[in-house]
């Protein structure tokens, strides 16, 4: 079982007792490590197959894990998704816990949401239904009840697709309809299992007697609800192995959070931590780019990044290509793919990855023109999308009966005619806010508007009927074999996959990061998304961008900021060193879990004036008793208060969210002269030090600070 494993993978395989956290970078063989761990335990007689529950996030990954375990002689181990494992338990225990049979699992949640909206007298189109349904799903996995939805999304910084009060109302009625019709939904499977295990200790004990050892893959993607279920499965035991990579957290919009992974050792102080950094997938050249992307990252996940070390032979350098416009970019990719296929590279080993599904149409057409078979993953074919089909019907009707359509009276040319028709289908001159289905629908319609503009530019006398014929031809040209085709996929749907050759396209500002990524957290998730894309490539990596959308357009685009300092000719931004980024092992305590220390022992805080032990939080922040004399610089304190007020107004937050009064008093008393001294003051956390440290030190030094300083 241990032959062929590298030293770190072997540590994973042999660490069979107590909590284990495996920080596994992309391509480092995490699935191999955890399947050999389970199989080694089974073959050595240390684990009973039926007592092990391995949990992952997709049926494909669970199936792959079961297959590997069978090959390793560990058949009988349960490898399931969270929902599959919970549903199995719910079906078994429902008669005992509740009585009767389990309510039916709703087949089409979106129809129930539509009924709830209708009952609320709120009209939603198909795409709004998808978005509202997604908001209900997010609420449930984050354990947010309908009444708490508006403040919860404000706190999370989410862009609601409708008025939050309306969504909360629909959500509430949706729950009532489910109860009335004896339905449960996908999220209820987890919620109800959690409820039963919390309320029925006899059932919880029965589950815990069945499962003694737990393995959780892709732990950076767990939601609060999944984490709660895992805790109930565990009880007071700690035979848990989690595997994840905070740098691959790209699903926060669904409620996933890497905090459980990053806080694992805080919750389990005796945990063994193993870092897998030997990359067996990608060449040193690809790995160098991946490491470079994360070296410029910020935030908590970046502080725990892993520095990958390629184990493969050297390969070609990544190719960076700038194109004049998007069609030229698509044609360039198709041409290079044709050359690769002619040289013997299988089409199935090539992928084109893009940020949004709406980008696929240009590449579908370019590949079809080049005679390259392709398959779409994680998205409908462009001309099969409902909004595109419906738009085609509307355009065909306008072409046939346009003379009687008042919409076209003031539309003298083809582009204006198409804009007029598609405005009735939801197209607007400005894109909608957010990143959900409404935005995707708009992007699909915008692609048709852009196509009409390009078509008219090439043929000035073209008619609406000519455009409809062109659309039909384009749709027919997409009928290519899909089994051995080049993969077209969004970056999100490419997670967990790999190819010999990867084309990362549209890597320009406005698309990567996407325009609606505004906050630091959203920008960093976009960076991680690009990192996932880069690490899908085994050997060849092509990165490209276009200076403008359409031929002849104004070249006002620039390459993504994420490539600064990485692509030839660009200026590097300040990097950072990895926090423990190299591979290795931090062993857990050898004592029994109940004797392992549960918290770090700290030296008591003492007053810096009289020496008395401090227990009050406010006094500990000042490092002196409330009654002891203060040596605070009153003028400095007032300048800090004035500056804080400006920052609070700029960020739209209360003053205390910048710094509390006591923290400002502590700063004014300490008068720090360096970031190190400032960081020692309680209340000056790492994020605030990064954001406000320069301002505070400047004020302490008697310098003037502008109003725009300190902002994000």
Q: Which residues are annotated as a binding site for ATP?
A: 24-31
Distance CA 117, CA 129 (A): 9
Please provide the DSSP assignment of 156-209 as one string: HT---SS-HHHHHHHHHHHHHHHHHTTEE-HHHHHHHHHHHHHH-HHHHHHHHH
Q: Is 621 helix (H, G, I), strand (E, B) or coil?
A: helix
- The pair phi, psi for residue 384, each rounded to 5°, is -95, -5
Give the H or E element holding residue 287: helix 284-295
- The pair phi, psi for residue 691, each rounded to 5°, is -80, -40
Instruction: Quickly list H helices, 459-510.
Output: 464-477
Partners of 499 in the β-ladder = 537
Q: Within a 13 Å sphere around the CA of 603, how many CA atoms are in the beta-carbon half?
A: 2
Using the 8-state DSSP alphabet, how is residue 319 labeled? Answer: E
Distance CA 429, CA 444 (A): 13
Report the candidate in 630, 634, 635, 581 with the shortest Cα–Cα distance to residue 609.
630
Residues that constitute the known binding site: 24-31
Contact 525, 221 (CB under 8 A): no
As a three-state string, the secondary structure of 202-237 is HHHHHHHHHCCEEEECCHHHCCHHHHHHHHHHHCCC
Tracing tokens 């384009």 back to the chain, one arrives at 474
- The pair phi, psi for residue 23, each rounded to 5°, is -95, 105
Percentages helix, strand, coil for the chain, rounded to the nearest 5?
A: 50, 10, 40
Cβ neighbours, 10 Å, residue 289: 23
**Please, which residues have CB within 8 angstroms of residue 638's CB and are 6 or more apart in sequence?**
none
Q: Is 446 helix (H, G, I), strand (E, B) or coil?
A: helix
């Amino acid at each position: 079982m241990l032959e062929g494993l590298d030293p770190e993978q072997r540590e994973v395989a042999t660490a069979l007792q107590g909590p284990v956290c495996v920080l596994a970078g992309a391509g480092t063989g995490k699935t191999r490590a955890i399947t050999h761990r389970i199989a080694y335990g089974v073959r050595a007689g240390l684990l009973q197959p039926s007592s092990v529950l391995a949990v992952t996030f997709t049926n494909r990954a669970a199936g792959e894990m079961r297959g590997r375990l069978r090959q390793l002689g560990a058949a009988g181990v349960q490898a399931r998704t969270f929902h599959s494992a919970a549903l199995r338990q719910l079906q078994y225990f429902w008669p005992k816990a509740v009585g009767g049979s389990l309510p039916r699992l709703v087949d089409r949640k979106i129809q129930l949401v539509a009924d709830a909206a209708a009952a609320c007298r709120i009209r939603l189109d198909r795409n709004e239904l998808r978005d509202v349904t997604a908001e209900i799903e997010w609420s449930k996995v984050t354990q947010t009840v309908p009444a708490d939805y508006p403040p919860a999304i404000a706190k999370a910084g989410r862009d609601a697709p409708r008025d939050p009060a309306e969504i909360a109302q629909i959500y509430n009625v949706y729950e009532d309809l489910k109860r009335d019709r004896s339905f449960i939904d996908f999220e209820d499977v987890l919620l109800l299992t959690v409820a039963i295990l919390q309320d029925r200790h006899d059932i919880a004990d029965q589950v815990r007697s069945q499962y003694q050892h737990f393995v959780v893959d892709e732990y950076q993607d767990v939601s609060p609800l999944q984490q709660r279920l895992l805790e109930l499965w565990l009880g007071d035991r700690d035979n848990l192995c989690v595997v994840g990579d905070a740098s691959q957290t790209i699903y926060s919009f669904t409620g996933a959070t890497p905090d459980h992974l990053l806080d694992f050792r805080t919750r389990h102080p005796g945990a063994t931590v193993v870092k897998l950094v030997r990359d067996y997938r990608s060449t040193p050249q690809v790995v160098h780019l991946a490491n470079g992307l994360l070296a410029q990252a910020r935030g908590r996940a970046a502080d725990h990044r892993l520095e990958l070390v390629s184990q493969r032979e050297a390969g070609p350098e990544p190719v960076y290509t700038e194109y004049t416009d998007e069609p030229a970019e698509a044609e360039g990719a198709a041409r290079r793919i044709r050359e690769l296929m002619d040289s013997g590279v299988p089409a199935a080993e090539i992928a084109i990855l893009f940020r949004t599904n709406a980008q696929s149409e240009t590449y579908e057409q370019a590949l079809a023109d080049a005679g390259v078979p392709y398959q779409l993953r994680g998205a409908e074919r462009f001309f099969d999308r409902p909004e595109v089909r419906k738009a085609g019907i509307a355009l065909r009707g306008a072409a046939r009966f346009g003379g009687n359509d008042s919409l076209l009276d003031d539309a003298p040319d083809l582009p204006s005619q198409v804009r007029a028709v598609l405005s009735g289908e939801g197209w607007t001159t400005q894109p909608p806010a957010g990143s959900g289905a409404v935005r995707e629908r708009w992007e699909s319609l915008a692609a048709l508007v852009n196509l009409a503009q390009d078509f008219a530019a090439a043929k000035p006398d073209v008619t609406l009927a000519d455009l409809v014929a062109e659309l039909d031809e384009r749709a027919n040209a997409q009928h290519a074999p899909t089994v051995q085709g080049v993969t077209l996929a969004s970056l999100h749907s490419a997670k967990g996959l790999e190819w010999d050759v990867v084309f990362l396209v549209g890597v320009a500002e406005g698309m990567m990061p996407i325009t609606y990524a505004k906050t630091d957290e959203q920008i960093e998730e976009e960076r991680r998304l690009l990192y996932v894309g880069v690490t899908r490539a085994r050997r060849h990596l092509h990165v490209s961008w276009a200076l403008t959308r359409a031929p002849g357009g104004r070249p006002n685009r620039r390459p993504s900021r994420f490539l600064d300092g990485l692509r030839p000719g660009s200026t590097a931004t300040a990097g950072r060193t990895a926090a423990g980024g190299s591979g290795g092992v931090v062993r857990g305590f050898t004592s029994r879990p109940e004797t392992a220390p549960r918290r770090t022992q700290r030296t008591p805080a003492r007053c810096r004036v009289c020496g008395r032990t401090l227990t009050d939080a406010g006094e500990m922040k000042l490092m002196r008793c409330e009654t002891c004399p203060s040596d605070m610089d009153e003028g400095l304190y007032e300048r800090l208060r004035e500056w804080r007020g400006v920052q609070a107004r700029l960020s739209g937050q209360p003053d205390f969210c910048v710094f509390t009064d006591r923290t400002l008093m502590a700063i004014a008393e300490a008068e720090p002269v360096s970031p190190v001294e400032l960081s020692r003051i309680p209340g000056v956390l790492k994020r605030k030090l990064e954001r406000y440290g320069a301002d505070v030190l400047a004020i302490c030094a008697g310098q003037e600070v502008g109003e725009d300083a300190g902002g994000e």
